[in-house]
A and B are shown apart, each in its own frame.
Chain A
Amino acid sequence: MDKTVASPAEAVARIGDGASVMIGGFGGSGAPIELIHALIDKGPRNLTVINNNAGNGHVGLAALIEAGLVGKLICSFPRSADPRVFTEAYLAGEIELELVPQGTLAERIRAGGAGIPAFYTPTSYGTDLAKGKKVEEFDGRPHVQERWLKADFALVKAHRGDTHGNLTYRMAARNFNPLMCMAAAHTIVQVSELVQPGAIDPEAVVTPGIFVQSVVEVANPAQEEVLNRAGAVYPPARPQEVQA
């Protein structure tokens, strides 16, 4: 068994127009920047993207939106230090937004991966975000019915991964990544360090390989925060042609 692929470009090659794509990360931590940039290079249109946020600056998810590839975003908090790309697209009516409370978003993804089509939560009861949803009382308290969330693809960042797709994460870069691995039909993981089976202690595995379809090694991955502090833009502007 070997789930490795040679490059981020090869890993995202099968993602086509209209696909739903979960993208891991919370802000920049755990965001698979290299996979997102490879997806921008490939250029599928009208994607539905599931992420906690809506991008920051002009790299990663913000760059995917700026490239005009995202038709709908499902997220909890579309704000950041520099949210201009999403904000402008949203206010211009170019992108649809489904706003979901953060814990409900996480649980919907978990439910999608766990084969639970719906669940009840106290979250959002009596608010605008519960409008149109079924409400039922349990133990005298009203709860809102929420549905599972699944996707065609997940783009995930992990720290170490073996060729079977067993994964560990680095600190708070874990966040939504393990859940999205479970909830996508095809999960693509970039790992900072690719190892052979047996190199990860089974006691330490966070995501078992059964939830992973493709693994690509990206050593020394970019951090969104560092890119933004350097004023990075993706794709980088072409150098101006020198006039003869």
Chain B
Amino acid sequence: MTRKLSNAQIAWRAAQDIADGAYVNLGIGFPEMVAKFQPEGREAIFHTENGILNFGEAPEPGTEDWDLINAGKKAVTLKPGAAFFHHADSFAMVRGGHLDVAILGAYQVAENGDLANWSTGPKGVPAVGGAMDLVHGAKRVAVITDHVTKDGKPKLVQRCTLPLTGVGCVTRVYTSLAVVDIEGGRFVLREKLATISLDDLQAVTGARLHLDGAVADLIAPEL
């Protein structure tokens, strides 16, 4: 069994592609970890749907102010240069193309860039939040995810079988095994763990991995 990247390491890898000065929205849950791994010397500004730009880390337990939360309803702090705004302005930033990057989780990503990340089917209570807005607004929409589901099925697929969040919206996927771009309706492999062969990676991927030049080693520090 090939060793795979931890969630923190996937988040670290995604953080390396965020430029200095970028405005970034991170999905709730696992993608929130990306903020912890900003490279030295770069300052990204994080946006949360509920109306804050430039929020920081969680406060010390016991010092939370529950008027100062992120989209995951977790208490946050402010950095110098923060701003508050109402929900219509917040989604004007999203839909209006003002965000540089949105990083989301996924149930499935298809080679045509379709994303499914809000519903696992008709059972239970459906909930969508801001995901459908984010995938059509940010200049770059990236996904961070394990390469396969908990029961080993590919998350990178030819066509999504779960309800879609957005059509043709994802351009890069950071997984526990590889970094894959979506270009022209194809998965293009950019990086993979040195310890997994191309054949083994293809075997756990639900659509063909195309090569476009050299494939770099996917390297992340121990975290």
A79 in contact with B125 given A28-B66, A123-B136, A171-B67 (CB within 8 Å) = yes
Which residue on chain A has the smallest CB distance to residue B64? A225
A172 contacts the other chain (CB 8 A): yes
A27 in contact with B164 given A102-B49, A123-B136 (CB within 8 Å) = no
Shortest CB distance B84–A (Å): 6
A30 in contact with B67 given A101-B130, A107-B88, A123-B132 (CB within 8 Å) = yes
Which residue on chain A has the smallest CB distance to residue B118? A127
Shortest CB distance A14–B (Å): 26
B1 contacts the other chain (CB 8 A): no
A179 near B66 with CB under 8 A, answer no
Which residue on chain B has the smallest CB distance to residue A79? B127
A101 in contact with B128 given A107-B88, A107-B91, A177-B86 (CB within 8 Å) = yes
A172 near B84 with CB under 8 A, answer yes
Question: Which residues of chain A come closer than 8 Å to B94, judged between CB atoms?
Answer: 103
Please choose the segment from A38-46, A83-91, A232-240 that sits at the chain B interface, where 4 or more of its residues have CB less than 8 A away: A83-91
Q: How far is the CA of A226 from the CA of B64 in the complex (A)?
A: 10
Question: Which residues of chain B come closer than 8 Å to A101, judged between CB atoms?
Answer: 128-133
Question: Which residues of chain B come closer than 8 Å to A91, judged between CB atoms?
Answer: 124-125
Total number of A residues with any Cβ neighbor in B under 8 Å: 54
Q: How far is the CA of A122 from the CA of B64 in the complex (A)?
A: 36
Shortest CB distance B23–A (Å): 16
B85 contacts the other chain (CB 8 A): yes
Q: Mark A146-172, 1 if CB is under 8 A from B, else 0.
A: 000000000000000000000001111
Question: Which residues of chain B come closer than 8 Å to A104, judged between CB atoms?
Answer: 132-133
Q: How far is the CA of A225 from the CA of B126 in the complex (A)?
A: 23
Question: Which residues of chain B come closer than 8 Å to A13, judged between CB atoms?
Answer: none
B153 contacts the other chain (CB 8 A): no
Q: How many A-B residue pairs have CB under 8 A?
A: 146
Q: How far is the CA of A224 from the CA of B67 in the complex (A)?
A: 10
**Among A100, A105, A174, residue most surrounded by chain B Cβ atoms (within 10 Å):** A174
B91 near A77 with CB under 8 A, answer no
B125 near A76 with CB under 8 A, answer no
Q: Mark A65-99, 1 if CB is under 8 A from B, else 0.
A: 00000000000111111010011001100000101
Question: Which residues of chain A come closer than 8 Å to B167, judged between CB atoms?
Answer: 125-127
Shortest CB distance B218–A (Å): 31
Q: How far is the CA of A87 from the CA of B49 in the complex (A)?
A: 24
B50 near A172 with CB under 8 A, answer yes
B39 contacts the other chain (CB 8 A): no
A86 near B73 with CB under 8 A, answer no
A128 contacts the other chain (CB 8 A): yes
Q: How far is the CA of A28 from the CA of B66 in the complex (A)?
A: 7
A125 near B136 with CB under 8 A, answer yes
Which residue on chain B has the smallest CB distance to residue A80? B73
A129 in contact with B132 given A102-B91, A106-B90, A171-B67 (CB within 8 Å) = yes
Shortest CB distance A187–B (Å): 14
B166 contacts the other chain (CB 8 A): yes
A32 contacts the other chain (CB 8 A): no
Question: Which residues of chain A come closer than 8 Å to B124, judged between CB atoms?
Answer: 87, 91
Provide a sorted-by-A list of 7 A–B residue pairs whose CB atoms are within 8 angstroms: A29-B67, A81-B73, A90-B125, A101-B129, A104-B133, A179-B86, A179-B88
A-binding residues in B (CB < 8 A):
48-52, 64-69, 73, 84-88, 90-91, 94-95, 114, 119, 124-133, 136-137, 163-167
